[in-house]
Amino acid sequence: MTEPQVPRFAGWRAIFRGHALPTAGLVGMGLFLALALLAPAIAPQNPYDQMQLNIMDGLLPPMTQTMDGRIAYLGTDSLGRDILSAVLYGLRISLLVAVVAVAAGITAGVLLGLVSALRGGWIDALVMRAVDLTVSFPGVLLAIMLLAIFGTGVDKVIVALAIGIWAQTARVVRAVALTEMQRDYIAAARLGGISEWRIMLHFLLPNSITPVLVLLPMAISGAIVAEATLSFLGVGVPITQPSLGLLIANGNEYLLSGKWWISMIPGLVLVAMVLCVNVVADRMRDHANPFLRAKD
């Protein structure tokens, strides 16, 4: 007689056991994270430090020797900057922007979605119309518009991306929370005289959060790509803090003159990282969907 329920968020082990590709994706995600965190320690040079650059090393292909006798494993760009170092530092910026933007966007979205479901009335109407307005622009266009207003900068890119993310989260959380509100344990909590704030945080939030956890990795890969797009278009992060997207843009003009490595290497790293996140995201989505799960 029990209704089939959306399965609880099981441990990582249960989700990934027996799935080779998603497990590899998870390992890859960990690797990229480690590289980004350890960049200052492992990068051959600090790509931001003008004093370490030698213009004579400009445009070296991968695996050639620089003037000071080191090997530039992944080549250098027109200023003589080591691509490996630039990519490691770029990874930091890309991940920082994506993770902070997603965290901010999802937190705001979850809270607004819960408040919307719990209070209803004009608050609900206001939040949902704001959601409609936000999602009616293509994400990148919205971000470009916001950046045109705010100006560029890492913090502004984060805000612009977060604004694109909160709306979808708010909509999903509101929908789940509204069905949860119909359940008797919420009525029981109200009969117990528990305050609305506690009902929201201790009753509604833990029971509405599962779909958001499933969306989380997908939102991160989306944010990574969106940030790269913005930076490539020149409205993203400033040139002093180059992300992967900006590195791709920098090499763009050399792409047709045979200097492929300047653009391609950050591009490949970006693709690999997004791929890792996506296979993990797919696995988590499948795990959360009981209809797909019955077949595997």
Q: Footprint of other proteins on this chain (CB under 8 A)? A: 1-3, 8, 183-185, 187-195, 198, 202-203, 206-207, 294-295
- Residue 201 or 272 having the CB closest to other proteins: 201
- Residue 1 or 51 having the CB closest to other proteins: 1
Shortest Cβ 105–other proteins spacing (Å): 24
Shortest Cβ 23–other proteins spacing (Å): 19
**Cα-Cα-Cα-Cα dihedral sign, residues 107, 112, 113, 118:** positive
Distances (CA, A) of 276 to 27, 32, 72, 285: 8, 9, 26, 14
Shortest Cβ 207–other proteins spacing (Å): 6
SS (H, E, C) 173-215: HHHHHHHHHCCHHHHHHHHCCCCHHHHHHHHHHHHHCHHHHHH
Shortest Cβ 196–other proteins spacing (Å): 10
The burial of 295, by beta-carbon neighbours within 10 Å (0-12 exposed, 13-18 middle, 19 or more buried), is given as: exposed
Residue 260 DSSP symbol? T
Shortest Cβ 188–other proteins spacing (Å): 6
Shortest Cβ 173–other proteins spacing (Å): 15
- Residue 17 or 20 having the CB closest to other proteins: 17
- Residue 182 or 240 having the CB closest to other proteins: 182
- Residue 70 or 183 having the CB closest to other proteins: 183
- Residue 175 or 275 having the CB closest to other proteins: 175
Q: How many other C-beta atoms are found inside a 10 Å radius of the C-beta of residue 5?
A: 7
> CA 218, CA 131: separation in Å to the nearest integer?
19
> CA 28, CA 22: separation in Å to the nearest integer?
9
> CA 103, CA 162: separation in Å to the nearest integer?
8
Q: How many helices (H) and strands (E) does the chain have?
A: 13, 2
